[in-house]
Structure 1
Amino acid sequence: MTPLVHAEQAVLGALFLDPSQLDRLDTWLHPEHFSRPAHSALYAAMLKLQADEHPATTAPVGGPVPLAWITDTLQEASTQARGLTPSYPHLLISACPRPDHAPVYGRMVLEGAIHRSVAQHAARLHQAALADDRNGTVEETLHHAQLLSDVLTDLARAWGTEARPAQPAAAYAAQASPPQPVSEQGLAVEEFLLGCLASRPE
């Protein structure tokens, strides 16, 4: 089991133990950020019950959590994901080391979703570049490069900062040794890169 799955379990366990913490997550953590469909369904169910003013979400902080919170969440989530058993929420609760750290676990889930999104777009760009290389074209590569750039810009705007130029590390500085001869494949790759840059100077 990956650390990301542990984080998903921990945040859901924390919310089962203390549903009032939904107020600290609901504006920035969304069901689609979870990698497992069952976890996504459980979190979506919690948000729906919160919107419906379930007694557990309106109870005083630190008070006892009604058992109906678990059963109602499970019933609601079961309409979206199959195979959820009554014992699974208890497994999630036991996977939560610190219930008051729900925002920390939620941040881990969000970062995992960001990494997945970037990796998926990068993989599509790689596949498009391989296909264009075989076909002698650049259109699909440019399209997917623009999509990846847009995704990174949106992520930076929403969660981080704008990209800033950085000096390369000293290890990557030009070497004094004479350049090595380039293979035919290497020349083809260079020509492809120059063609892309000529087509899209930005």
Structure 2
Amino acid sequence: MMSNATPTEADEDVLQYPAPSPVVHYGEQALLGALLLVPEQLKTIGPLEPEHFANTAHSALFAAMRTVSPPTPEVHRTSPVWPNQLLDAARPQARTLTASYLHTLISICPTDAHAPAYAHMVRSGHARRVLRQHADLLAQAARAPGPGPAEAVLTRSDELATYLVELVTAFPSHPGSMPRTSEAPRPTAERSAEAEDDERMLLATATAHPGELLRMRWLHEGDFTNPLHAALFTSLTALARSGAPVDPITLLWEAQQKGLLRDGPGPAEILDLLTYPVGAPEHWGQKVVQRALLRQAVAVADRIAALTADEATSVHQLAIGSRRTLSALSAVRRRWHEATGSLPRTPPPRQAAVSLPPPVTRGSPAARANPGPRAPARSGR
């Protein structure tokens, strides 16, 4: 017979969340309560996997439901065979799971007839968490030191794009499909000594070889981290494209005409910046556009993270908003391919599986229901 033992005070501390439970947590509880009450509802909830649950004890309990054959309806109505079997099967993965918590799950569920709706909540919560993981992995690739950061960013970007296609297919559109989350402020480029040096070398070599600028249309003013460098690049490009004479003195004159010396460095500092070319403009330009690619990847990841943090945003809205955000990165990556002479990647197959680390779960294996237990669920049959 199913035990009615009450957890000890120490168990209560383990079972409760350290922070207020998210709404999807109650959806997980209601779904499991419905399935405990009426095992036949497993046939109505659609595609659902144990990893779709955020709570480890809930995941273990649902995995047991998928593997343990439920008793006949007649046996289930008169004996707690089903809950006891599930408890025995789930405890190796969730040792703090108790019989009293299964009673709590049943009492939390308003009616088993709504099990498909609860399952949809669980799938939505999982989709939100996985999308956030993709965003975090993209940001991590952009910030990680080491050789070939652009390739790592492109790989993560392709994985994110594939997952967004899956979300749009799995979660249909509805009125108001565009996300309502406020746009994040435009990111400011972080200036560093390395970035400053690369941009100075680009300006010096381009001033010495202005003809090569005509073949570097893939480099934009917005790729620079230093506003003065960006303005000098714009002036230099205009001179080269108009066929005007280009050297440090003519560029200095152009900078003065555009007011760049008004509140910035003096003429001697500008000349010093332009006078010592090393290497080729294309080499330094590639470094500048790669840095812009990484910077845009971080901005995309931050925006998607902000969308997933807004729980009022539906999964379809998340997918649409994230795809629009990702298009900004696609524009920079096209220029990166032009700069490096590499061929754009073939989009990954629509059904391609994306390997991700396990979903981030809450710290405790099972959560104490809050608010407290209600009246037992009413069967919808």
Class of the TM-score when normalised by the shorter of the 2 chains: 0.7 to 0.9
State the SS of the aligned residue for 2:99.
Answer: coil
Question: What amino acid is the match of 1:80?
Answer: Q
For 2:120, which of 97, 107, 111 is the aligned residue? 107
Distance 2:38 2:95 in 1: 25
How far the C-alpha of 1:91 sits from its partner, in A, is 1.1
1:36 aligns with 55
Higher helix share: 1
Q: Does 1:19 align with 2:45?
A: no
Q: Provide closer, same or farther for how the CA distance between residues 59 and 138 of structure 1 changes in structure 2, counting only shifts above 3 A.
A: same
2:29 aligns with 9
State the SS of the aligned residue for 2:98.
Answer: coil
2:153 aligns with 141
Count of residue pairs the alignment pairs up: 178
Query: Identity of counterpart residues, as a percentage?
Result: 37
State the SS of the aligned residue for 2:132.
Answer: helix
The correspondence of residues 119-130 of structure 1 with structure 2, limited to 5 A, is 119-130=132-143
**Contact 1:17 1:65 (C-alpha < 8 Å) held by counterparts:** no
1:152 aligns with 164
Q: Provide closer, same or farther for how the CA distance between residues 109 and 195 of structure 1 changes in structure 2, counting only shifts above 3 A.
A: closer
**Contact 1:17 1:93 (C-alpha < 8 Å) held by counterparts:** yes
Distance 2:290 2:66 in 1: 51
State the SS of the aligned residue for 1:138.
Answer: helix
Distance 2:107 2:73 in 1: 22
**Contact 2:28 2:53 (C-alpha < 8 Å) held by counterparts:** yes
Q: Provide closer, same or farther for how the CA distance between residues 109 and 43 of structure 1 changes in structure 2, counting only shifts above 3 A.
A: same
Deviations 1:22-66 (Å, cap 9, x if unpaired)?
1112x501111101110011111111123xxx31xx426xx8263
1:80 aligns with 93
Question: What amino acid is the match of 2:68?
Answer: L
Q: Does 1:184 align with 2:235?
A: no
Question: What amino acid is the match of 1:89?
Answer: L
2:73 aligns with 59
Question: What amino acid is the match of 2:161?
Answer: S
Distance 1:107 1:136 in 2: 40
Segments of structure 1 that go 5 or more residues without pairing to the other structure are 173-180
How far the C-alpha of 1:109 sits from its partner, in A, is 0.2
Question: Which of these two proteins has the greater Rg computed from alpha carbons?
Answer: 2
For the aligned residue pairs, the C-alpha RMSD in angstroms reads 3.2
How far the C-alpha of 1:129 sits from its partner, in A, is 1.8
Q: Provide closer, same or farther for how the CA distance between residues 185 and 40 of structure 1 changes in structure 2, counting only shifts above 3 A.
A: farther
How far the C-alpha of 1:95 sits from its partner, in A, is 1.3
Question: What amino acid is the match of 1:46?
Answer: M
**Contact 2:141 2:149 (C-alpha < 8 Å) held by counterparts:** no
1:175 aligns with none
Distance 2:143 2:78 in 1: 55
1:45 aligns with 64
1:177 aligns with none
Distance 1:15 1:114 in 2: 22
- TM-score (normalizing by structure 2): 0.41
1:92 aligns with 105
2:334 aligns with 197
Distance 1:32 1:137 in 2: 30
**Contact 1:11 1:106 (C-alpha < 8 Å) held by counterparts:** yes
**Contact 1:18 1:65 (C-alpha < 8 Å) held by counterparts:** no
- TM-score (normalizing by structure 1): 0.74
**Contact 2:150 2:290 (C-alpha < 8 Å) held by counterparts:** no
Distance 1:65 1:142 in 2: 58
